[in-house]
Amino acid sequence: MKSIITICFLLGSTIFSQAQTTTNDIVKEWERAKAYTKEYLDAMPESGYAFKPTP
């Protein structure tokens, strides 16, 4: 029983370690999101920044 638990733990920790993202992946995703947001804001006319759906 103890060996089964050990095997499950080792397999689980291997899968978990592969699921972690690296700092470079996080930075790339952040830069992509930043560029997308900048593109979106640049497309908005300046008059749209003050728009409110309700008074």
pLDDT tens per residue across span 15-55: 555 556 788 888 999 999 999 999 988 898 888 888 888 87
pLDDT of residue 51: 83
Query: CA-CA distance, 43 to 27, in Å (whole number)?
Result: 24
- The pTM (predicted TM-score) of the whole model is 0.48
Helix locations, 1-55, DSSP H: 2-19, 23-43
pLDDT of residue 34: 94
Per-domain residue ranges of the chain: 2-44
